[in-house]
Amino acid sequence: MKLWDKGVATDADILSYTARDDHRLDQALLPYDLKASKAHVRGLCRVGALDTGERDRIVEALERLEKEVAEGRFVISEDDEDGHTAIEAALVRDLGDTGKRVHLGRSRNDQVLVATRLMLRDALAELATLSGGSARAFLKLATTKGDAIVPGYTHLQRAVPQTLAHWALAYTEGFVDASRALLSARTLADKSPLGAAAGYGVNIPLDREGVAHELGFSDVDLNPLWSQTSRGLNEVIALTAVWQAMAIVRRLAWDLSLFSTSEFRFVKLPDSFTTGSSIMPNKRNPDVVELMRAACSIVQGALAELMTISALPSGYHRDLQLTKGPTLRALAEAKATLRLVPKLADNLTFDEARMKAAVTRDILATDAAVDLARAGIPFRDAYKRVAAQLGSPDEPAGEAANASIKARTSLGAPGNLGIDRLEARLSQLELELDSAIGPPHSSW
Ligand code: ARG
């Protein structure tokens, strides 16, 4: 059965060309599609478009399907064009003509929109929570192992001494910011599009706000054409926030793969994060962090796809179907990657002696120039004077490194990390995340 069948024969090649892998992708959207279908049917009854008997039979049948989905027994087949067709076909098998009434007053266009928004709401809340958890892990690292001193680098050249806490808290703050970006993107997905139908409303006075309320949306899209036109654009904003989190993971993975080389040996990766070589018995390769680094590219590729696919005139176009694949792919990659971050942070072993030995006399130069300038010498002259008598790059700075850390006391600097302020920001975020996150869903 095709929902749009008008008795004209269809070509199998063309059908599979248009359906693509919707049967696989829509499997992730099924729980959301069913939930929205129930709300739609109840709404139809409230405005007198279905009687209560029809409503109850359809809602019960949808609930049976929900159970089948949860137990893995409802699988969209390749013959079903998409998840929407599979649901309607199952309702018709179960209820006959009553099942067909579910589609009154809606289009697959607003059906896929609402399922996608419900999925995005869950996914973004979960990713925001994982990002917050990563921030928490780095805060713990800063408070437990943070006193160790290590060079800070610019251009991969030793620059100024810092502490391990200073390095770790950069990731804490980064993951807090990313979590906020994910929550902000989530507000765009938190409006109900149902009732937009094909993009121009429908000649039934639908209870759009009641349906939105039942689905837990904070608001409703007002303009049906904007609902349709937002498809792909909301996904771009969502994936931009996901990209932000992944770009932080990419830097982290870079830092760790670099600082764990024999040349640095500042940090040892947890054994479970390394693999061996098939030929070189001596190797312990950082494969896991390398794959975590590549996750950002997958999200970035998906973003590029979404941006070009959604470059369309207003209204629905079938191109938009192709926004589902990159969206789901990127979300899954980010979830798998972010889940590993706390495990990684908790199990790093730092070689404090190696780190300290790398803090050499030459990298106290900036402090020395600032000290002279404070004493009244113009900074440019102080700079030149210090440059002419640099400390040795071979001699460890010793106690002078501690003094350098302690002297840098403006807010956030290594001598005054602002750890309480950051902890307060993170705790506030965690409170907001608790109220945003719904029941755990494994379908996306
Ligand atoms: N699979 C389609 C999609 O994801 C469902 C909507 C089909 N609508 C249409 N007018 N052909 O976009």
Q: Where are the domains of the chain?
A: 12-104, 109-146+164-203+221-357+421-436, 361-395
Distance CA 57, CA 113 (A): 25
Q: What's the confidence (pLDDT) of residue 415?
A: 97
Residue range 83-127, pLDDT digits in tens: 999 999 999 999 999 999 999 999 999 999 999 999 999 999 999
Q: How much is the average pLDDT of 175-199?
A: 97
- Ligand 1 centroid to Cα of residue 72, in Å, is 24
- Ligand 1 centroid to Cα of residue 16, in Å, is 14
Distance CA 315, CA 225 (A): 6
CATH for 12-104 (1.10.3860.10, 1.10.275.10, 3.40.50.2020, 2.10.10.90): 1.10.275.10
Distance CA 242, CA 361 (A): 41
Extract the tokens encoding 300. 């970035």
- What single string gives the DSSP state of each residue in 73-124? -----TTSSSHHHHHHHHHHHHHTHHHHGGGTT--HHHHHHHHHHHHHHHHH
Binding site membership of 112 for ligand 1 (Cβ less than 6 Å):
yes
Give Cβ neighbours of residue 396 (< 8 Å, ≥ 6 apart): 356, 357, 359, 360, 361
pTM recorded for the entire structure: 0.95
Mutation test residue for ligand 1: of 27, 82, 87, 106, the one with most atoms within 8 Å of CB: 82
Extract the tokens encoding 262. 């024999």
Binding site membership of 321 for ligand 1 (Cβ less than 6 Å):
yes
Can you give 133-183 as a three-state secondary structure string? HHHHHHHHHHHHHCCCEEEEEECCEEEEEEEHHHHHHHHHHHHHHHHHHHH
Binding site membership of 109 for ligand 1 (Cβ less than 6 Å):
yes
Q: What's the confidence (pLDDT) of residue 79?
A: 86
Residue range 28-65, pLDDT digits in tens: 999 999 999 999 999 999 999 999 999 999 999 999 99
- Ligand 1 centroid to Cα of residue 320, in Å, is 8
Binding site membership of 90 for ligand 1 (Cβ less than 6 Å):
no
Distance CA 116, CA 38 (A): 16
Binding site membership of 178 for ligand 1 (Cβ less than 6 Å):
no
Asked whether 262 and 351 are in contact (CB, 8 A), the reply is no
Residue range 237-269, pLDDT digits in tens: 999 999 999 999 999 999 999 999 999 999 999
Q: What's the confidence (pLDDT) of residue 438?
A: 65
Distance CA 309, CA 298 (A): 17
Asked whether 146 and 353 are in contact (CB, 8 A), the reply is no
Mutation test residue for ligand 1: of 21, 112, 116, the one with most atoms within 8 Å of CB: 112
Binding site membership of 256 for ligand 1 (Cβ less than 6 Å):
no
- Res. 441 pLDDT band, cuts 50 70 90: low
Q: What ligand 1 atom has the least distance to the C-alpha of 82?
A: 1
Residue nearest to atom 5 of ligand 1 (CA): 108
- Ligand 1 centroid to Cα of residue 11, in Å, is 18
Residue nearest to atom 1 of ligand 1 (CA): 321
Q: What's the confidence (pLDDT) of residue 420?
A: 97
Fold adopted by 109-146+164-203+221-357+421-436:
Fumarase C; Chain A, domain 2 (1.20.200)
Distance CA 118, CA 211 (A): 13
